[in-house]
Amino acid sequence: MRSINKVILIGNVTRDPEVRTTGNGQLVATLTIATNRTWVTRDNRKMESAEYHDLVAWAHLAELCENFIRKGKLLYIEGYLKSRSWDTPEGTRRFKTEIVVDDLIMLDRQRSTTELSDSDPVSPNSQEPTEIPANELAGIGTDNSYGPDGNFDL
């Protein structure tokens, strides 16, 4: 029987991505997005809660995160769950589950020409959402290895 490990999220980036290079020279970006859920209680109160999701992007997607993704950006993410564990120097076993990004689409509309600064990497003529399909990008790496301490193999 087949199994499925697929995550689809739309959320806002909570902090600028952190980009590093692994020991074998591959780029890796880590970032977090927040998703919101709203509901109405039986006594008609509107409730809201937020969930925070840790993401990992490799190779060309990491480069795109470094160049175009900033805090507050609305993203559509497709990926899969990856869990890892490591021992702290104090001997405690730690666990973390992250979403490894396979595809991302920037959903925010481009800012108008008057809102753009000289340093913005976007085209001032485009008012359409920006799509970056990972399966159409060259150079996507597959070495998603973690070091013995549970961190990326830097």
Q: Which of 64-73, 90-99, 130-139 has the lowest mean pLDDT?
A: 130-139
SS3 content of the chain, % helix, strand, coil (to 5): 10, 45, 45
CATH annotation of 7-39+46-136:
2.40.50.140
DSSP-derived 3-state class of residue 28: strand
Whole-number Å distance between alpha carbons of 79 and 84: 16
Q: Residues 61-79: what's their mean pLDDT?
A: 95
Q: What is the pTM of this model?
A: 0.68
Residue of higher predicted confidence among 34 and 132: 34
CA-to-CA separations, 36 to 12, 48, 51, 115, in angstroms, rounded = 9, 7, 6, 27
Going by their DSSP bridges, the two strands 7-13 and 27-40 should be labelled as antiparallel
* pLDDT for the residue numbered 108: 75
The domain segmentation of the chain, as residue ranges, is 7-39+46-136
